[in-house]
Structure 1
Amino acid sequence: MNILIIDDDRVMRRIIRAMLAEGSHNTLSAGNHIEALSVLSYQKVDLILMDIEMPEINGFDLTRIIRKKLDHWLPIIFLSANESDNYLALGIDAGGDDYLTKPVNQTILNAKIRAMSRIADMQRQLNELNKQLEKLSYIDPLTQLLNRRGLVERLEIDWRANKRKKEELSIMLLDIDYFKPYNDNYGHPQGDLCLQKFSQVLTNCMHRPADSIARYGGEEFLIILPATPIEGARFKAEKIINALLNESILHEHSQVAKYVTTSIGISSTKFGAVDYTELIKQADSALYLAKHKGRNRRVIYQPKTQN
């Protein structure tokens, strides 16, 4: 562990450092709050041994400062010659995790460090698990694409970036043609497999890290194309339509083809949408026209007349 010893007594720092040497720990030291905060600003620290009685800022106040500054938890063990219960209570209230009285017993010190190390490991595992759960909350479990929650967050980020950079942002709203007859005739398990294959086709057609794909509804999908003019989105839509035909997912109950096809509505910020909600409405309007024209095609939104 990287252990930071904070004590205004240089001799005490040396004694504790010698005690920790047998445990193969890496020790750092600070004689006051300025040095301590400096070390924490550039050095990874796993545990702090904090003297309480220090001039200018005592250990309790410094602990409060550290807890406010750091965005993660690390164990802090107080060191003090004061054995009163009141001091122990003050230490816990200040944000400390344990308390050792001076002179420090080496056996007890190392035992407490081992205990804190186990707690720190569990905390890291918990933080990693929470990150994974947070990530899962943005992902559609069937298709492994962004879900509606993830889509909204991505749209907000890309919309702000688009306004800042003053670039054209395009989106595509896609719908699998005649998916209900597919589900009704092949069954829902096969329908789920179709959605997964369709999602994979979309993923294979996207080559830029900035592009995002989301499952917008049951069989509806939305693709965000940052820094992409409308012609670039049109080209991408045609690529998806052709890739889907090459995939040849059998659909004997479609009125368009013997294979699964898609209709695509396209819009971009060039058409004057005031926010991404309006942009989606424009793409949805274009998608409606694509279906009206016979499906298995892409249509670009036009503000007044659509073609």
Structure 2
Amino acid sequence: MKGHNQYRSEVEIIKDAQVNITDANTNNDKTLISLLRHEISQLKATNASLNVKLQSLREKHLPHVFLVEDDYDTSQIIAEILHDDYNVIDAGNGIEALSILRKVGNAGSSVKKIDTILLDINLPGMCGFTLCHEVKKKMKLNIPIIVCTARNTKKDVIRAISSGANDYIIKPFQEKTLVSKVNKWTKVNKRLHIKL
């Protein structure tokens, strides 16, 4: 729909800048620099506005995965894997995670909903087993919990399931395993079928 786009494209802004520079009909470097700065600031403002709108759409339409992981590198890898299809909220320890979970959806909380929890076991402050038990048995939250840990004994799996976990992933994991299990347990009412 030509003429209905409220944001000017970069090409349009650059063409306008060329016209302004030509119209100025001067070789004055200060004028050229001033015009370029003005056009660049318009591009930045347009880009910032589009990013805000994009983030708003993501938060409204994509499911929210709460990642509770104390290892920064692992957290970054998981967030990158899930980025296209999920909003990833993270916490680095069990106490912080519990605090966030208690406030979900409340006035003043930046977290409005959580669709799935990805939970490490070896966490500072409160281990994943205890956090899982708090969420499922005491708070009685109906949020699927996927334990994602390097602990791989049968005893650990049984303890996680008895604490309320819905599934178990052993690190190091394959990307397709992580995505498959998150997709399986994430309950989505509305989902965009396009990549944002």
Do they superpose with TM above 0.5? yes
Query: Does the alignment pair 1:93 with 2:162?
Result: yes
Query: Does the alignment pair 1:38 with 2:99?
Result: yes
Spell out, residue by residue over 1:76-114, the C-alpha distance to the aligned partner (whole angstroms, 9 max, x if none). Answer: 000111221111111101110000011121101111111
Amino acid corresponding to residue 146 of structure 2 in structure 1: I
Q: How far, CA to CA, are the matches of 1:82 and 1:33 in structure 2?
A: 17
Q: How far, CA to CA, are the matches of 2:182 and 2:90 in structure 1?
A: 16
Q: How far, CA to CA, are the matches of 2:128 and 2:75 in structure 1?
A: 15
Query: Does the alignment pair 1:28 with 2:97?
Result: no
Amino acid corresponding to residue 90 of structure 1 in structure 2: R
> As a proportion of its length, which structure holds more strand?
1
| Cα shift at 1:11 | 1.5
Q: Say if 1:71 and 1:95 are closer, same or farther in 2 by CA, change over 3 A.
A: closer
TM-score for the superposition, normalised by structure 2: 0.56
| 1:24-173 matched pairs, under 5 angstroms | 24-40=85-101, 41-42=103-104, 43=111, 44-117=113-186, 120=187
Partner of 2:29: none
| Cα shift at 1:37 | 1.9
| Cα shift at 1:70 | 3.3
Unpaired segments of 5 or more residues in structure 2?
1-62, 105-110, 190-196
Q: How far, CA to CA, are the matches of 1:121 and 1:55 in structure 2?
A: 31
Spell out, residue by residue over 1:33-73, the C-alpha distance to the aligned partner (whole angstroms, 9 max, x if none). Answer: 22212322132111000000112311001111112453441
CA RMSD of aligned residues (A): 1.8
Q: How far, CA to CA, are the matches of 1:75 and 1:10 in structure 2?
A: 23
Amino acid corresponding to residue 67 of structure 1 in structure 2: K
Q: Say if 1:12 and 1:52 are closer, same or farther in 2 by CA, change over 3 A.
A: same
Q: How far, CA to CA, are the matches of 2:89 and 2:138 in structure 1?
A: 19
- State the identity %: 33
SS at match of 2:125: coil
| Cα shift at 1:115 | 1.1
SS at match of 1:39: helix
Q: How far, CA to CA, are the matches of 1:95 and 1:104 in structure 2?
A: 21
Spell out, residue by residue over 1:256-283, the C-alpha distance to the aligned partner (whole angstroms, 9 max, x if none). Answer: xxxxxxxxxxxxxxxxxxxxxxxxxxxx
Q: Say if 1:71 and 1:61 are closer, same or farther in 2 by CA, change over 3 A.
A: closer
* Number of positions where the alignment pairs a residue of Structure 1 with one of Structure 2: 119
Q: How far, CA to CA, are the matches of 1:19 and 1:55 in structure 2?
A: 24
Q: Which has the larger radius of gyration?
A: 1
Question: Would you identify which runs of 4 or more consecutive aligned residues in structure 1 move more than 3 Å?
Answer: 68-72
Partner of 2:67: 5
SS at match of 1:61: helix
Q: Say if 1:83 and 1:68 are closer, same or farther in 2 by CA, change over 3 A.
A: closer
- Higher relative contact order by CA 8 Å / sep ≥ 6: 1 or 2? 2
The answer to whether the 8 A contact 2:117-2:146 is kept is yes
TM-score for the superposition, normalised by structure 1: 0.37
The answer to whether the 8 A contact 2:146-2:168 is kept is yes
Spell out, residue by residue over 1:117-167, the C-alpha distance to the aligned partner (whole angstroms, 9 max, x if none). Answer: 2xx369xxxxxxxxxxxxxxxxxxxxxxxxxxxxxxxxxxxxxxxxxxxxx
Q: How far, CA to CA, are the matches of 2:183 and 2:90 in structure 1?
A: 20
Amino acid corresponding to residue 25 of structure 1 in structure 2: Y
Q: How far, CA to CA, are the matches of 2:188 and 2:141 in structure 1?
A: 13
Q: How far, CA to CA, are the matches of 1:61 and 1:45 in structure 2?
A: 19
SS at match of 1:53: coil
